[in-house]
Structure 1
Amino acid sequence: MNLIMFDMDGTLINSGTMIANTINYVRVNLGFEAFEKNYILEKVNDPSINTAEFFYGTKHFTPQQTTLFEEYYHKNCLLELEIYEGIEKLLQELRGNFKLAVATNASSVFANKMLKHLELRDYFDLVYGYDSVQKPKPHPEMVHKIMNDIKTTKEKSLLIGDSHKDIQAAFNAGVDSILVNWGFSNHEKDAIENVEELEKRIYKKFVK
C-alpha cells in the first residue's frame, strides 16, 4: 500500500501564531524577553540548533518549561488555526488511493485535538507525535514506526513537510520527500510553492 506522511504545523495547518505565542509565554515566565513571531518560526524548524537551549537557555527541556508550554498550549491550541488553501481538497482526492498519516513533532494528543477541530482527522489512518517515539524528527524513528504500522515499505512511502527536519527524517529513513514553501520557513531552493504542484509531484512518484 502506498503511504503519504504529512508534517502538520506549517504543512497542513497554519498554527504559527499559536506556536509563537506559546513559546513567548514560556520565555516571559522564565524571565526572558519575547521574540518576534517570524524569528521563532524560522528557528523552531532549524535542525542545527538545540531548541531548548536556544529558546530557554537549558540543554534539555525542564519540567517547568514543559508545564508552562503545555499549560498555555492546552488553553490556546485551537485558536487562530487555518487549513492551508487546497489542502483539504487534496486530502479528499488522496484518501481513497493512499494510506495517509501525520508525522508531527507536536504532541499526538494536541495534534489529534487540532485536526478534529478542523475536521481533518478522519482523513488519516495514523497521527503520531513526539510522544509516540523516543526520538522525534529529524531522527527516522517516527517514519519507520508509521511504515511498520501501515505495513508498507520505504519505496512505497513519501514524506511531505515544510522544514529540513522533515526532509532529514525522510532521508535518514530512506524515504522520498517533498519540501513545501508555504509553511514557517522561507526556503530559497528545492521547495514547491503551492498545493497544485504538490499534487503533481505526488502522482509523479506513485503513478507509473
Structure 2
Amino acid sequence: MRLIMFDMDGTLVDSSNAITNTINYVRGNLGLETLEKNFILEKVNDPDINSAEFFYGTKEFTDEQVVLFEEYYNEHCLLDLEVYDGITKLIEDLKDDFTLAVATNASSDFARKMLDHVGIEKHFSSILGFNNVKNPKPHPEMVHKILNEHNILNNNAQLIGDSHKDIMAATNAGVDSVLVNWGFSNHEKDAIHTVAELEQKIFEKFK
C-alpha cells in the first residue's frame, strides 16, 4: 500500500479570497483594520507565528473569534473556490494506484464541503482537519493518524503541501514531502512550480 497525503488550501484548491475575507471580517468585528491579501496568506502559513495573537491580538482564539470565523467562512468558502490547474487530472491519475488523503489545518467539515464542491472529495479515503487532532501541523500527529488509519509505513507515504508547516509535519513523522509554489507562499528555494514537476516527484519516490 502506498499513500499520498495532500494539504488542501493552497495545494489542491485556491481558497485565498475566502480565507483573507474571513480573517478581515473577524478583524472588523474586533475593531481592527483590514490587512492586505498577500500579507495574510504569507502569515497564515508561517510556522513561527501564533495566528490568534498575530491576527486578533489574543494569546488564543476566543469563542467569539471562532464563531465569527466559522459562520462567515461557512457562508463564503465556496465563492471563487477553484482547483489549481492540473490537480483534478493528477488526482484521477493517482487514485487507482495510491491511497489518497487530505491533511489540512482547516476544519474537516469545511474541507469535505469544499472538495465536494470542486468534484474531487470522493477520491480521498481520509480527510483530517485540525478538529480531528490535538495538535495541528507542523506537529506530526495528523500524519501519524492517517498512516495508522490505513496501516501504511511512513516510507511508503508522501505529503504534498504549499507551506513549511506541511514539510515540518511530514519530516517530524519520517515521511517524504514535496513543497509546491503555486499556493499561498512564495518560496525562494526547494519548491516546485508545476503539476508536471509534482508528478515527476511522485514517480521518483514510488518508482
**TM-score, length basis structure 2:** 0.99
Alignment-derived partner of residue 162 in structure 1: 162
**Unpaired stretches in structure 2, ≥5 consecutive residues:** none
Structure-2 separation of matches of 1:55 and 1:11:
22
Alignment-derived partner of residue 101 in structure 2: 101
Q: Deviations over 1:47-98 (max 9, x none)?
A: 0010000000011000000010001001111111010000000001100000
Match for 1:22: what amino acid? Answer: T
SS of equivalent residue, structure 1 residue 168: helix
1:73-152 aligned within 5 A: 73-152=73-152
Alignment-derived partner of residue 194 in structure 1: 194
Provide the alpha-carbon RMSD of the alignment: 0.4
Match for 1:84: what amino acid? Answer: Y
**TM-score, length basis structure 1:** 0.99
**Structure 1 residue runs of 4 or more that deviate by more than 3 Å after TM superposition:** none
Q: Deviations over 1:91-122 (max 9, x none)?
A: 01100000000000000000000011111101
Alignment-derived partner of residue 56 in structure 1: 56
Match for 1:80: what amino acid? Answer: D
Q: Deviations over 1:6-58 (max 9, x none)?
A: 00000000000110000000000000000000000000000001000000001
**Unpaired stretches in structure 1, ≥5 consecutive residues:** none
Match for 2:202: what amino acid? Answer: I
Structure-2 separation of matches of 1:62 and 1:70:
12
Q: Deviations over 1:123-148 (max 9, x none)?
A: 11110000010110000000000000
Match for 1:176: what amino acid? Answer: D
Match for 1:199: what amino acid? Answer: E
Match for 1:27: what amino acid? Answer: R
